[in-house]
Amino acid sequence: MKLYGIRNCDTVKKARKFLEEAGVDYSFHDYKKEGVDADKLAAFVSEFGWDTVLNKKGTTWRKLDDDVKESVTDAQSAMAVMIDNPSTIKRPIVEAQGKNFIGFDPVAWEMSLELGELK
């Protein structure tokens, strides 16, 4: 299982703590240290939709120039912004056995653990 995010993000910290307390073995991909793989991002955008993967509620998005924000009109333009500004990617994203998750929802994650989907 692989968890994607940013180490100092509070939501990612909660997700990592949840997984560790549940005894789930996972690897962590830190966008700030390891960058954003364009092909992987494209797969997430294809699965979840660019408007879900692009986090417009975060501080990084709000601090972007209006010209940059207004340029985001489709998946390609959204991905360009996310690659240049990894903090605009919704976190965390989890690749698990046959199922991917976006965002941290402890209730949904607990159910997925019980179903064996989160491992």
pLDDT tens digits, one per residue of 65-75? 999 999 999 99
Q: Is the pLDDT of residue 115 over 80?
A: yes
The answer, yes or no, to whether residue 98 has pLDDT greater than 80, is no
- DSSP assignment letter at 2: E
pLDDT of residue 20: 97
% pLDDT > 70, the chain: 100
How is residue 25 annotated by DSSP? -
The reply to whether 48 falls in a domain is yes
Look at residue 99 in the predicted model and tell me its pLDDT: 85
Evaluate whether residue 119 is within a structural domain: no
> Residue 78 contacts by C-beta under 8 Å, 6 or more apart in sequence?
45, 50, 51, 53, 54, 72
Phi, psi of 26, deg, nearest 5 = -150, 160
> Within a domain: residue 68?
yes
Cα–Cα distance measured from residue 38 to residue 6, given in angstroms and rounded to the nearest whole number: 17
pLDDT computed for residue 72 by the predictor: 98
Q: Which of 9, 12, 54, 118 is catalytic?
A: 9
Task: Summarize the confidence of residues 20-35 as an average pLDDT.
Answer: 96
Assess if residue 13 is contained within a domain. yes
Count of domains for the chain:
1
Boundaries of domain holding 104: 2-114
Q: What average pLDDT does this structure show over 52-68?
A: 97
9 in catalytic set: yes
In this structure, what CATH number is given to the domain that contains residue 47? 3.40.30.10
Other Cβ atoms closer than 10 A to 16: 19
Helix 10-21 vs helix 106-114: angle between axes, to the nearest 10 degrees?
Answer: 30
* CA angle (80, 78, 29) in 5-degree steps: 70
β-strand 27-30 against 2-5: which pairing, if any?
A: parallel
Question: Is residue 97 over pLDDT 90?
Answer: no
The verdict on residue 85 lying in a domain is yes
Residue 98 CA to residue 108 CA, distance in Å, equals: 16
